[in-house]
Amino acid sequence: AEVIIVPDARDAGELVAEAIADLVAGRPDAVLGLATGSTPLPVYEALRARRSATDLSRMRGFALDEYVGLAPDHPESYRSVISREVVSPLGLDPDRVHVPDGSLSGIEHAGADYEAAIGAAGGVDLQLLGIGTDGHIGFNEPGSSFASLTRVKTLTEQTRRDNARFFDSIDEVPRHCITQGLGTILRARHLVLLAFGAGKAAAVAAAVEGPVTASLPGSAIQLHPHVTVVVDEPAAGRLV
Ligand code: F6R
């Protein structure tokens, strides 16, 4: 992977927003892989700041993951988060932006349907990734197969604790999710993994420099030919 160490998250956001703007300049209906959580927010913010220069209305998007069992209109469902933090502020076309279906009624088909939709779109051009403190990418928790496709997974206690900040209490954090698999993620043409803060340093070092192992799902990026890792100094702190 190419590792770029930036002074702060804002610089990372600008760098990655520029790469996305270049992609869309070449092909207005390019496919962006969207991540949620705190990490990608500076990218979305930088894209919003360049809205007058970059028309994103034809860009297509696929989110990495969704909680299972939250009402779709729950403010913390990733469908709601993507709508609020990405689609509306960036002027994307809501019909071109997809989030896995985490509703219980559709759960049996949701994974295969999502894979089919990504395939029909021609695959993901640039996939934004954060990384969990336990090394997950998407919600592929430790032990996930490198060949896995979109499917239902159980969230680890650590991830539920990490994400409790978005809910009133940890009891409200769902126990299950539907996530693109590591195999799905590895099919994207360019992976851009972002991480900020010392809390991510161990996961970043393990993903970039550690053994390639299902125990650290982020290490799957080492199998991909085109990866850019953008980190601030604290998150780079354990890289050799
Ligand atoms: C979110 C996702 C997760 C997060 C990771 C880091 O769609 O797939 O892998 O990227 O949990 O979360 P933050 O960015 O909130 O630290």
Average pLDDT over residues 182-206: 98
Average pLDDT over residues 213-226: 98
Q: State yes or no: is 136 an active-site residue.
A: yes
Which residue among 65, 66, 85, 162 is the active-site one? 65
pTM: 0.97
How many domains, in total, are found in the chain? 1
Res 72 pLDDT > 80: no
Residue 200 confidence class, pLDDT cut points 50, 70, 90: very high
Which residue puts its alpha carbon closest to atom 15 of ligand 1? 37
Measured distance CA(12)–CA(4) in Å, rounded: 9
Res 90 pLDDT > 90: yes
- Domain with residue 67: its CATH number is 3.40.50.1360
ipTM attached to this prediction: 0.98
Share of the chain above pLDDT 70, in %: 100
Measured distance CA(94)–CA(156) in Å, rounded: 31
SS (H, E, C) 197-213: CHHHHHHHHHHHHCCCC
178 membership: H or E segment, kind and range: strand 176-179
Going from the Cα of 185 to the center of ligand 1, the distance in angstroms, rounded, reads: 14
Does residue 116 lie in a domain region? yes
Does residue 195 lie in a domain region? no
Which residue puts its alpha carbon closest to atom 2 of ligand 1? 138
Going from the Cα of 76 to the center of ligand 1, the distance in angstroms, rounded, reads: 13
Q: State yes or no: is 14 an active-site residue.
A: no
Does residue 236 lie in a domain region? no
| pLDDT tens digits, 99-148 | 999 999 999 999 999 999 999 999 999 999 999 999 999 999 999 999 99
pLDDT confidence of residue 168:
96
Asked if 158 contacts 170 with a C-beta cutoff of 8 angstroms, the reply is no
Residue 171 confidence class, pLDDT cut points 50, 70, 90: very high
> 127 pairs with which residues across the strands?
33, 191
Q: In which domain, by residue range, is 27 found?
A: 2-122+137-186+212-224
Q: State yes or no: is 11 an active-site residue.
A: no
Q: State yes or no: is 98 an active-site residue.
A: no
Ligand 1 mutation target, pool 36, 129, 158, 192, most atoms within 8 A of CB: 36
Asked if 236 contacts 204 with a C-beta cutoff of 8 angstroms, the reply is yes
Query: Which ligand 1 atom minimizes the distance to the CA of 78?
Result: 7
Query: Which ligand 1 atom minimizes the distance to the CA of 130?
Result: 10
